[in-house]
Amino acid sequence: MTMPAAHPSPPKYQSLAEHYRSAIQAGSLLPGQRMPSLRELVRQHAVSLSTAMHVCRLLESEGTLEARPRSGYFVRTPERSRLAPVNDPPMQRAPDPAQYVGIHTKVSEFLALGRMQRFKTNLSTARCAPELYPSQALNLAAQRSLRQDPEQLVRAAPPQGCLEFREVLAQRAMGAGMHLSANDIQVTNGCTEALNLVLRAVAQPGDTIAVESPTFYGLLQTLESLGLKALEIPTSPRTGISVDAVELALRNTQRIKAVVVIPYLQNPTGSIMPSSHKQALLRLCQQHDVALIEDDTYSALVDDSVLREEPLRAIKSWDDSGHVVYCASLHKSLAPGLRLGWVSAGRWQTRVEMLKFAASRSNERLAQRAAASFIASAAYDRYLRRLRSILATQRTQTAQAVASYFPPGTRLTVPRGGLSLWVELPHQLSATALFHAALAENMVIAPGTIFTNSNRFENHLRVNCGWPFTPEIDHAFARLGQMVGALAHATSGAKAGRLAAS
């Protein structure tokens, strides 16, 4: 910063504070991001420790930074973009007996509408932009594999999956506290096939499966297609499924054969189950002898700040009875174009292997080998750290946009990882109405209603934060905010009309 010579220089701490104030206003430092430490300030700007402290206290006093105990200073979220968290459901409520009521048709209609044309802005998916995934490294690995084993496309692949891929998966599973061997793993066509096989292994048509509510629509579609009934269990956007409600359900409902949960970054809410909840849920499932199906699709996207508090720990890591079926996939965290999932099914492993063979035989080798080679390299963890940091930024930017543009009363909990936000509209406004209004302007969102068989979550929506927050996306949120405002206006107008008519 150059200063006019005519004026006396402001004190060093003021010019340095102004430097950071501008950086924050320009978006170089985002709300929630960590301010350089005092030590870093001293080193980078060649100032004394007391000047550095002065800078931070000044920025704190004016509301630009906030101090967090034992963590340092962080950029404060501006008042205007502070949203109340999404409402918790009544967690002790008896489970909703809503079973299949045409979810597949409902979801299919939304999906079909969402695919009808190329959209300007698609906020409905749960995927990152292609450039965030390591396509070059995977391409090279695939080409290397084709050179090293030129007959792989014309030789039948092993039914359980390629050994080198299963070995890498088993090694990585150690990072979540699991002790698996390659033999405990069956490779599948994505987590979707894994869930299909597992549900068929543990249940018969007509049986009931307890699921989170809301849950991802793919699970509801799978349950319907298999003739299984979904029992929706209240789920907190912060701590996940209500273990008390699961207990109530297991006591009072016949033929529950499994509980399906996403402990890390639940889809759509982004909740993370505390360890104590995971262990309590496992004990429940063991006592009632039902399968606990753990979908671990998103744990690679959990923020590093969470991992510093407590390392990853799969429910399966505590399982001493074979009741936990662990499923995962690389679809979200590594490569949406590869259909790579896997399952370690505990006491149902042999049956799952038989069902996989009867359902689709082996997976192709090439994808497994390309993935195995990349995951085994040091580049994989570097890639994941970078992805998580980018996603953290994009989540913050998206949350800011919702806070800035959506009308008062909108609620939002920013998850501690992942690529989606779960937004609650004020005044019971309909996200389905918003979906249709957005569609008319070439934008797609995912309305809350597709994440349940019941009529809950009608005023919720899931938005994707996997794409760089461009001016176009900012504009889309501004437009969505206006649409929500118009819906609110129409609703209050209608209410006023009803009042006037009554």
Interface with its own copies (CB under 8 A): 104, 108, 125, 127, 130-131, 133-136, 138-139, 142-143, 146, 150-157, 188-190, 192-193, 196, 200, 204-205, 218, 221-222, 224-225, 227, 331, 335-339, 354-355, 357-367, 370
Bridge partners, 443 (sequence order) = 121
How are beta strands 443-444 and 121-122 bridged, if at all? parallel
DSSP 308: H
Nearer to its own copies, 160 or 397 (CB): 160
CB of 157 to its own copies, least distance (A): 6
With a CB cutoff of 8 Å and minimum separation 6, the contacts of 239 are 271, 272, 273, 274, 277
Q: How far apart are CA 362 and CA 339, in angstroms?
A: 12
Nearer to its own copies, 177 or 218 (CB): 218
Structure tokens at 60: 């704190």
Bridge partners, 236 (sequence order) = 240
- Asked whether the bond before 214 is cis by omega within 30 degrees of 0, the reply is yes
For 321, phi then psi, to 5°, come to: -130, 0
Give the CA distances from residue 367 to residues 164, 384, 467, 487, in Å, rounded to whole numbers and listed in that order.
12, 19, 24, 46
CB of 78 to its own copies, least distance (A): 34
Nearer to its own copies, 81 or 108 (CB): 108
Bridge partners, 421 (sequence order) = 463
Nearer to its own copies, 111 or 486 (CB): 111
Give the CA distances from residue 220 to residues 61, 426, 464, in Å, rounded to whole numbers and listed in that order.
50, 26, 20
Give the CA distances from residue 385 to residues 158, 291, 303, 382, in Å, rounded to whole numbers and listed in that order.
33, 33, 9, 5
CB of 181 to its own copies, least distance (A): 18
CB of 149 to its own copies, least distance (A): 10
CB of 470 to its own copies, least distance (A): 18
Nearer to its own copies, 301 or 366 (CB): 366
CB of 243 to its own copies, least distance (A): 28
CB of 200 to its own copies, least distance (A): 7
Burial of 233 (0-12, 13-18, 19+ CB in 10 A): buried
Contact 95, 234 (CB under 8 A): yes
With a CB cutoff of 8 Å and minimum separation 6, the contacts of 494 are none
CB of 249 to its own copies, least distance (A): 24
Nearer to its own copies, 250 or 387 (CB): 387
Bridge partners, 329 (sequence order) = 341
CB of 156 to its own copies, least distance (A): 4
Nearer to its own copies, 154 or 499 (CB): 154
The closest of 322, 262, 267, 334 to 295, measured between CA atoms, is 262
Nearer to its own copies, 76 or 369 (CB): 369
CB of 211 to its own copies, least distance (A): 15
CB of 502 to its own copies, least distance (A): 45
Nearer to its own copies, 187 or 249 (CB): 187
Nearer to its own copies, 258 or 484 (CB): 258
Nearer to its own copies, 56 or 123 (CB): 123
Q: How far apart are CA 190 and CA 340, in angstroms?
A: 4
Give the alpha-carbon dihedral of 319, 321, 322, 324, to 10 degrees. Answer: -40
The closest of 309, 373, 301 to 137, measured between CA atoms, is 373
How are beta strands 460-464 and 65-68 bridged, if at all? unpaired
Q: List the end-to-end C-alpha distance of the chain, in Å, as a whole number.
A: 66
